[in-house]
Amino acid sequence: MRKIYEEEILKKIYEIMRENLYLGKDIKIDMLSKFSDLDMDELDIVEIAMDLEDEFDILIPDRKTDKMKSVMDLYVYLCKVLGVKKVLNVKKVLDAEIGSGEINSRFEILDL
């Protein structure tokens, strides 16, 4: 298995969410975005999880997706499953906007 970096995980989450939810570039998504604030229902979350499973060749059990309420929940879970030992500090992640397609390189890294 190739090494996965935390920035890659976050970027892929944003990309898949934007694609699956048909969100315009005017809609800002960050780590603190709650699924309910994005009008996501259980099916939306499952579809995004399935796409992430395909992308990273992992399995995300339904019992895990049922507990996820935000981008942060999904991100932290993926980091754990993929063996990423450090995660991006949410205070710095607020600068990472889904429409930009880039992750700010000023992120502080926290140990998991």
Q: Which residues are catalytic?
A: 41
Rounded Cα gap, residues 76 and 86, in angstroms: 10
Residue 105 to residue 21: CA distance in whole angstroms: 26
Percentages of the chain per state (helix, strand, coil), in multiples of 5: 50, 5, 45
Q: Note whether 46 and 67 are within 8 A (CB).
A: no
Residue corresponding to tokens 């190739």: 2
Answer yes or no: are the C-beta atoms of 9 and 79 closer than 8 Å: yes
